[in-house]
Chains A and B, each alone.
Chain A
């Protein structure tokens, strides 16, 4: 079976600075895979490299068997990949409904009716706020909106960049719960970049640890949670 997403030997540079060093990573159909690491380890860079901005200088990225390494971003995002970017980046002056429609229309979908009902089922709060401007939502609601907007294109692979950033633990659990529910119900494949390693590893089937742009450890969520070096580096003081 071909993997949903596979990176082999991927290196990315910002000018002369190397941000990713020969990364190998695989995400299989129906999996939740998490990528944890410290600030500046290259987590977001890896996610953006998958999206083709910046493009990988070396190595190959395959999506469902096809080489997407040199594709322009918008072409990659129309292949059934959707991204909820770091820092949410919702459209502040546009309403919740408009934000959601952008997610569908940008991917060339016009039959958004049913999808809209599904994301409202997942995040009922958004339905209450449907006519409100995105910028007036709370942080948690904005994160929900960012994920819902990504889901509007009916992706098979969802890329989530730090969905727990700046959220209260309760809201954070709601969001992670929604991701798990989605994965169980629809078999959506998820690649999750997280700082909140404890929750991310509990949620994920498998995980990778990124250190200085290179993968230093890989394994199932439970395995990584049990490793003392992971506990020391990323889980100090984290209890949930």
Chain B
């Protein structure tokens, strides 16, 4: 390495450290504490120093490490990777099927949450991944599904299984409704209008108090039953526990809910995989590639877009109905933009159009974040020493920082998502 390069690397690293100092001095260096006479400020110079040194060293390392020539991957390695990739999906499925047998309520609950996001991801994947229509308001359909079930149950006393298809249909209608005005829009403009649509639905839910109970939300949403058997705690006739002569336990209901969402998610996956191999599915992908070419081939772009919005929204509606029955309580607060953003991040991180990628991304983003939180809490408990006293108890708060960093790293290393290869919808041998 030349003298000049070392110098410029040091200068650059110094500058980065300076920026870090400016950023983190107020963020990390100052902490408020409840003192005897109200809030007091306490300075933590050591914590800031640690971070600044880390940034300096990291930047220096990044700049001075000589970039070697790119190593081409051997064909054998590629083949092995492809084989391994094929095993991932079945392995995940088996894992998902046996997971509740572990009997840990914490993990079953977490897995249910992950599966809800996988299902949402798969639903949005139809719109964004296959048809290439950037939708920033997907949460609207999630909300429509949830409120459809909650309101139908409250007003007409309908059960979960009756309402599930209705919630899907109503959400699909909402999707088509959104589709009409945005038919002529592409890219950024489409994204803005869908974003607005998501907000409109939420604001309507807040303000239409007589219908939706406004910000108070809807409580006492009925739980799903297993062929008419309820999962209630009294254990009497006509309940799950009573019918099978079991001790009524919460874990039974939690496990049942887990399998319901697993089934719904698998249904979504199966349906999407089937659709991809039909002319309609191929038309979606062609639309993503080139709308003008689609028109010149005679594809009815209107129908193609509306079906994509409708079917994507339908899956969002199913997931919403499930969310409502699982929580037994919904309010507009659950359907903010951050949900849309999370689901979109899952789809993009996973790799647009890839079902496996979406599942992996949801596991990482939802499951990983939660596991990171509990790991950081654990770490904080272990760090009792004097030096870290100030940092230890707020370590879990740094999870979003770590997580954001991880997302950036993934997107830098794999800009097209975790699973970026696209499987052809038809092969010559199959014909």
Contacts and interface: CB of A to CB of B under 8 A. Distances in A.
Nearest to A91: B289
A130 B282 contact: no
Nearest to A85: B296
A102 interface: yes
Contacts of A82: 297-298
Interface stretch (B207-215, B393-401, B418-426): B418-426
Given A85-B293, A89-B293, A90-B293, A106 B298 contact: yes
Contacts of A85: 292-293, 296
Contacts of B286: 91, 94, 102, 106
A106 B299 contact: yes
Contact of B297 (A53, A131, A149): A149
A177 B164 CA distance: 59
Interface string A153-186: 1000000000000000000000000000000000
A103 B297 contact: yes
B283 A106 contact: yes
Chain B interface size band reads 20 to 34
A107 B298 contact: yes
Contact of A98 (B282, B292, B431): B282
Contact of B424 (A51, A89, A95): A95
Interface string B407-431: 0000000000000001011111001
A92 interface: yes
A238 B425 CA distance: 44
A70 interface: no
Contact of A101 (B296, B298, B300, B426): B426
Interface string A36-62: 000000000000000101000000000
Contacts of A125: none
A105 interface: yes
A107 B300 CA distance: 10
A83 B296 contact: yes
A85 B301 CA distance: 17
A165 to B, nearest CB: 15
Contacts of B102: none
Contacts of B294: 106
Contact of A97 (B295, B422, B424): B424
A223 B299 CA distance: 39
A115 to B, nearest CB: 13
Nearest to B424: A95
Given A73-B295, A74-B300, A149-B297, A101 B282 contact: yes
A215 B385 CA distance: 89
Interface in B277-309: 279, 282-283, 285-286, 289-290, 292-301
B297 A97 contact: no
Nearest to A110: B279
Contact of A91 (B290, B295, B300, B427): B290
Nearest to B428: A130
A107 to B, nearest CB: 5
A106 B422 contact: no
A131 B298 contact: no
A28 to B, nearest CB: 23
Contacts of A92: 289
A89 B290 contact: yes
A47 B427 CA distance: 34
Contacts of A73: 295-296, 298
B299 A94 contact: no
Contacts of B290: 89-91
Contact of B427 (A74, A107, A108, A131): A131
A74 B301 contact: yes
B282 A153 contact: no
Given A51-B295, A74-B299, 11 more contacts: A51-B296, A74-B298, A77-B298, A85-B296, A93-B289, A93-B422, A94-B424, A95-B424, A97-B427, A102-B286, A149-B297
Interface of A: 51, 53, 72-74, 76-78, 82-83, 85, 89-95, 97-98, 101-103, 105-108, 113, 130-131, 149-150, 153
9 contacts: A82-B297, A83-B297, A89-B292, A94-B289, A101-B282, A103-B297, A107-B298, A149-B297, A153-B298
Interface of B: 279, 282-283, 285-286, 289-290, 292-301, 422, 424-428, 431
CB-CB nearest 6 A-B residue pairs: A77-B298, A89-B293, A105-B279, A91-B289, A106-B297, A74-B300
